[in-house]
Amino acid sequence: MSQQIRGQDSASAQGTIAKVGADGNQNVTLYAPDFGSGGGRNIITTVSGVLTAIAAKTSSAGHLWALQNATATSTKLTLIHRVRARFCVTVAPASSHSQEIGFILSKTTAHTVQPTGGAAVSMLSPEAKKRTSNAAPETAIYYANSTGALTAGTYTINTAPIADERAFIYEAASTPTVALGECVLDRDFGNSPLVLAQNEGLLIANAVLMANSIAGRLNIMVEWSEVSAYNQ
């Protein structure tokens, strides 16, 4: 009787990793998905322009960063390990004002067209790759690289967010006498990564209208793997 275990194969990224040899014995070779030639783990950070007067999130407004599993192969998955966004205030709220700020991380489906009005992250080798010899990533990332929000692409935003983080920024003349400076959204999926199929993705959007002359930069780090699905 032959026995097979499906998993991550160094040659096919999804093939059999347990095989019965010519001697009738079962030989098992394990390849870590992070380092197999058909997949690989990636990490990259984007930094926005100095954002100001950004509208609050709607289906078409306030979008600042988008990730899409843009692979041409329907069986290839994007596994999200961690997303970390940090907004650093560069211009304090106007005199006698303070400002709530916040950012929302959501999953998208039917994500067929990325936003416009910003910049696409280069995925040409060796960008983003943790192992240089891996194939170039097929995940697409687009971000706001100027002062304004993106023009929405084609995608459906899940109603329930993955994360929604808020902070309160004081005017420069308040106590304490600095523009308290950051809002951090950090989601580490640990041993259970968020799985994105073809044309699924992520969106980070502004949660609260940026009023009172506040401005700042949003830097976003994302860590992900790309693997072939073995359970269709």
Q: Does one domain contain both 71 and 161?
A: yes
Say what the pLDDT of residue 92 is: 79
pLDDT for 54 equals 97
Q: Please give the structure tokens belonging to residue 167.
A: 């902070």
Q: Give the residues of the chain that fall short of pLDDT 70.
A: 1-39, 95-96, 172-181, 230-232
| Residue 191 near residue 34, CB atoms below 8 Å | no
The angle at the Cα of 53, spanning 50 to 58, to the nearest 5 degrees, equals: 110
Maximum CA pair distance of the chain? 82
Give the range of the structural domain holding residue 24, as residue numbers without chain letter.
Answer: 1-31
What residues does 169 pair with on adjacent strands? 99
For 47-104, how does the pLDDT look when each residue is reduced to its tens digit (9 = 90+)? 999 999 999 999 999 999 999 999 988 889 999 999 999 998 888 787 667 788 999 9
Q: Do 80 and 5 belong to one domain?
A: no
Distance CA 187, CA 82 (A): 6
**Domains in the chain: how many in total?**
2
pLDDT at site 228: 86
Domain check: are 43 and 129 in the same one?
yes
pLDDT in the model for residue 24? 65
